[in-house]
Structure 1
Amino acid sequence: MAAYNKPTVEISEVQAVLRKHFRSDVTAITPLEGGNISAVFSFACLDQEYIIKFCDLTGSFETEKLISNLLSSQGVPFARCMELGKFKSMNYLISEKIAGRILNDFSYEQQQRMLPEVVQILTRMNQVKSETTKGYGTINASGDGTYSSWREHIIATFAEEQADSFWEGWHSLFETSCLEKDVFDECYNRLLAYATYNEPHRFFIHGDFHQYNILSDGQRITGIIDSNGKYGDFLIDLATLDWHIKTHLKLDVVQIYQDYQQEIGMDIPNFKERFMGATYYNGLIGLRFYAKMGWNDAYYELRDELLSLR
């Protein structure tokens, strides 16, 4: 399986799309770094800044627009979506641009100072109300989780058959990439064992919560972007943040998180077991993704960490 390449979009093509939605002149169209799935540009119109993203994967962005409405309507600083459409073989999404730069751009001291605020926003986001929805796992365009249980979501996530998706034919990675089947199977079995502790819990999960999807002005957190939304145990998001913070900053975000939960009187039963289940879940997704993208060093680092867990 070849590494995935996000679509190539020319400035002239961006201009053609934006003319459909903006009557006034659009200026400062600028390609942005980052984003492994989408081609992303910023632009301005009448002194307001926006983002447009292009993706050629089926069903791109419908759920993101729904999640944007859910989070922004309940006080979570998430980019509000404006327009959704198709251009050639791609989907595109136009949203407001949140001021600031990704958290990872700032110094160690600045990130360390802002981590308590990151934890507070994470807690607020995980507790948003979505009583009219049902299901677990990946949020679909109707706002429901795709599966009837968390375990069913896990099994579907790592099933061999993944037709018409980013992971179609992914088992070929065992032959064509650094992905090792014995390692994957061992971690998958550990995941299923710990998932028993995660299964009873259903909350909103961002799904990709780390420094590259958190924006700041250097003093405070200005917003959150790029959710891969799911319903399940909110410790999935903490495990994601923990992996990135440990890797880049060597800071104990789990302790900061637990201190805040104690401060607000929030009890988290079976924390250790649920966190292990969350770590293996994220870890398996990470191993497979790093292998597909050809990021061998990241793969081996994560592999060694997962195998060392007990």
Structure 2
Amino acid sequence: MTAYTKPTVEIHEVEVVLRKHFGSQLTRITSLTGGNLSTVFSFMLLDKEYVIKFSDLAGGFKTEKFISTLLSSQGIPFPLCVGLGSFKSLNYLISEKIIGHSLKDCSYEQQRRMIPDVIQILTRMNHVKLGTTKGYGKINSSGNGTYTSWKEYIIASYAEEQAGSFWEGWHRLFKTSCLEKDVFDECYNRLLAYSIYNEPHRYFIHGDFHQSNILSNGQQITGVIDSNGKYGDFLVDLASLDRHLKTRLNLDVVQRYQDYQQQLDIAIPHFTERLIGAKYYNGLIGLRFYAMMGWNDSYFELRDDLLSLI
């Protein structure tokens, strides 16, 4: 199993796709950096900026369209999907572009000052109304969770056989990458032990909530992008944000988060145990992904953090 490579799409191919949707009133088609699984471009249409993403992974963009509607219809600043389709062997999604740049590109002082805004948006997003949806774990194209329980989702996520998915044949990483089976098994067993505290809770989880996916104009937060949406315990998103802020900025958001929940009179029973379970959940995803991408330094740093958790 080699490191995943995003699909290659040329500017003239992007223009072909966009003209099918919008005709000839297009300008400034530009390749964008970022995104580990999608190839991304921006473009202008009638003085408004949009984004188009291409992926060779099946089904993901239908889910993103559902999430876009779920969040934007409830006042969350998430890009509104305006089109999707297929081109050659790829899927694509077109959405409005939120004004702003990645929070990670802001100064330390700017990021520190905007943490209250980040926590506020995170809380609102985690508590959107889920309507008639059901299920846990990864959200599918119908808007439901793929599994009947959080535990079932965890077990399925790390099953050896995952034919047709991004993680097909992933056990080969134990032999071909820095992924260590004894470390992985230890953290997996800890995850199962703590996940009993996460299991009863079902909310919307962004799934990749950190500075790269939070946009800002330098003064305030303007939006959130690139959800890897799931249903489960919202502390999964806090655990992700906390790790990234601690690693890159040495900022601890957990106490600030708890203070804000108290202001809103939101009770979080078993907070410590649930946060540990969330950290192991995110951590195992990170270990496997870093090994897959060949990001060895990130792998070993995260491994040490997870092993020292308890």
| TM-score range relative to shorter protein | over 0.9
Aligned to 2:277: 277
Query: Could you tell me which amino acid in structure 2 is paired with residue 36 of structure 1?
Result: N
Please report how far the alpha carbon of residue 150 of structure 1 lies from its aligned counterpart in structure 2 after TM superposition. 0.3
Return the offset for 1:262: 1.2
**For residue 49 of structure 2, what is the aligned residue in structure 1?**
49
* Distance of 2:123 and 2:156 partners within structure 1: 27
Q: Tell me the number of residue pairs that the alignment of Structure 1 and Structure 2 aligns.
A: 310
Q: Is the 1:52–1:94 contact (alpha carbons within 8 Å) kept by the matching residues of 2?
A: yes
Encode CA deviations 1:163-220: one digit per residue, 9 max, x unaligned.
Answer: 1111000000000000000000000000000000000000000000000000000001
Output the TM-score relative to the length of structure 2.
0.99
Q: How many Å separate the matches in 1 of 2:30 and 2:60?
A: 21
Given that residues 102 and 211 in structure 2 are in contact (C-alpha distance below 8 angstroms), is that contact kept between their aligned partners in structure 1?
A: yes
In 1, distance between residues paired with 2:24 and 2:122? 37
Q: What is the distance in 2 between the residues matched to 1:23 and 1:29? A: 14
Contact 1:58 1:164 in 2 (8 A): no
Unaligned runs of 5+ in 1: none
- For residues 85-143 of structure 1, the C-alpha deviation after alignment (integer angstroms, 9 at most, x for no partner) is 00000000000000000000000000000011000000000000013011000001111
Task: Quote how far apart the aligned CAs of 1:69 are.
Answer: 0.1
1:3 aligned partner, one-letter code: A
Paired with 1:19 and 1:76, the residues of 2 have a C-alpha distance of 30
* Counterpart residue number, 1:142: 142
Do 2:85 and 2:91's aligned partners in 1 also have CA atoms closer than 8 Å? yes
Distance 1:8 1:31 in 2: 11
Distance 2:149 2:277 in 1: 15
- Farther off after superposition, 83-92 or 18-27: 18-27
2:10 aligns with: 10
2:264 is matched by which residue type in structure 1? I
Return the TM-score normalized by structure 1.
Answer: 0.99
Q: State how far apart, in whole Å, the 2-side matches of 1:170 and 1:75 are.
A: 38
Equivalent residue for 2:253? 253
Q: Is 2:164 aligned against 1:184?
A: no
Q: Distance in 2 between matches of 1:162 and 1:228?
A: 18
Q: Equivalent residues in 2 for 1:130-279 (5 A)? A: 130-279=130-279
Does structure 1 retain, via aligned residues, the 8 Å contact 2:60–2:141? no
CA distance in 2: counterparts of 1:256 and 1:32, whole angstroms:
33
Give the corresponding residue for 2:295. 295
Number of the residue aligned with 1:123:
123
> Partners in 1 of 2:272 and 2:146 — Cα distance?
27
In 1, the alpha carbon distance for the partners of 2:238 and 2:140 equals 22
Map 1:13-24 → 2, pairs under 5 A: 13-24=13-24
* Counterparts of 2:173 and 2:244, CA distance in 1: 24
1:235 & 1:6 partners in 2: Cα distance?
30
- Contact kept in structure 2, 1:78 and 1:225, CA below 8 Å: yes
| CA apart distance, 1:267 | 1.1
2-structure distance, mates of 1:62, 1:197: 31
Deviation, 1:265, is 1.3
Identity of paired residues, percent? 74
Unaligned runs of 5+ in 2: none
Residue 224 of structure 1 aligns to which amino acid in structure 2?
V
SS for the counterpart of 2:241 is helix
**CA displacement 1:27-85 (0-9 Å, x = unmatched):** 11111111000000000011010000000011130000000000000010000000010
Contact 1:71 1:128 in 2 (8 A): yes
